[in-house]
Amino acid sequence: MHFHNLLNQWDWDEVSQQIKAQTHAQVIDALNQNRPSLNHLMALLSPAAQPLLENLARKSYHLTRQRFGKVIHLYIPIYLSSYCENNCVYCGFKVSNSMKRKCLNKQELLDEGLAVARTPFKHVLLVSGEAGKKVGCDYYLEAIEMFTPYFSQISLEVQPLQSYEYEKLVHKGLHGVFIYQETYHQKHYPLYHPRGPKSDFAFRLETPERLGKAGVRKIGLGTLIGLEDWRTEAFFTALHLSYLRKKFWKTNYSVSFPRLRPIDGPGFQPRFTTQERDLTQLICAYRLFDPDLELSLSTRESANFRDNAFPLGITAMSAGSKTNPGAYAQQDSLQQFSINDERSPEQIAQMIQSKGFEPIWKDWSLFLQQNNSDNALKPTQSI
């Protein structure tokens, strides 16, 4: 059975009502659980949990320290292409947006990789618009091969691919794939994705299963916060996570919390407002639900919020992010969306250290493992 079959057994509106109907007593009960169930997660996500946010935060902090210590993994996205065949209403790369598109060629890829390699980063996230004929599996294979001498972990956030393509990428050195469903609301999904390959809800939904079969080491999940009610989205993301953990139990999992940001071109207003207090509750609820889950917070959020929220449950943060292809090598192109935290990687690292944490520049889960990363560092050191 695919996850899509399981998802069809749940009704969005009923789940929303169940979450809203949770009581103070049910929140207390969920807080007292060592391993909260999906039903307990409803309570932790509910409006009834808001007065108990300090309790959630305190437990989330201690669970995170127990599982992950006081280290924060830092990574940086590298945008490869702004070409896209989709017309997602919230995205600056949408096909209907009149803009000058850019796809990095071999030399530009190398220039971008070298620019980032001069920084402390050892884990990069390669990002691209969805244009399979221009940036497909072969392009990503070439990019990974070019970047491997300079970075110890390389992940992707691109269009969904087939299992055999992911297998090729894993063989080449792919570490993880971040694939966001954007929304689990099937009826409303076409409102946001009216045109292009991304309009296929089921194919995107089943991508993590293809990743698991291909042996990808880490799978990242998430929704775009602002499209639908964040509480209901969080429940269905957790449902998906629970399904994947049972089916592909050797895989590591990550959840991110991207909130809608302004884009180049005609703007899109979030249908649902999410405050920073809501996002804090969301982070803590996930930590209590799954203590081993990696939680990531990007530069979409403000510097002040990231400084205060990361100790509560976050394990990974982006830093120094640019959302336009070639940006680090100072090539001119339009960005996908505007970032919020514009501090340099060094400033982020200093902030983390000032709070008694240690910034780690590659995947935290490999931090204590002896691997071949020393060899990968040699080209970086010669730059």
Phi/psi for 334 (5° steps) reads: -80, 150
- Catalogue all structural domains in the chain, each as residue range(s) with its CATH number: 3-7+15-365+373-381 (3.20.20.70)
% of the chain beyond a pLDDT of 90? 81
Closest residue by Cα to residue 146 from 123, 172, 183:
172
Q: How far is CA 56 from the centre of its chain?
A: 22
Q: 8-30 pLDDT, tens per residue?
A: 999 999 999 999 999 999 999 99
In the predicted model, residues of the chain with pLDDT beneath 70 are 261-267, 332-338, 363-383
pLDDT of 383: 26
pLDDT of residue 267: 66
- The proportion of the chain whose per-residue pLDDT surpasses 70, expressed as a percent, equals 91
Report if pTM > 0.85. yes
Q: Count other C-beta atoms under 10 Å from residue 371's C-beta.
A: 11
> 145: Cβ–Cβ under 8 A, 6 or more apart, which residues?
172, 173
pLDDT at 72: 96
Question: For residue range 229-264, what is the model confidence (pLDDT) as tens digits?
Answer: 999 999 999 999 999 999 999 999 999 999 886 655
What is the predicted pLDDT for the residue at 269?
A: 78
Per the CB < 8 A criterion, the answer to whether 345 and 319 are in contact is yes
pLDDT of residue 268: 74
CA 93-362-261 angle, to 5 degrees, is 25
- The pLDDT score that the predictor gives to residue 99 is 82
Per-residue confidence (pLDDT) for residue 215, from 0 to 100:
97
User: Mutual orientation of helices 276-289 and 303-313 as an angle, nearest 10°?
Assistant: 20
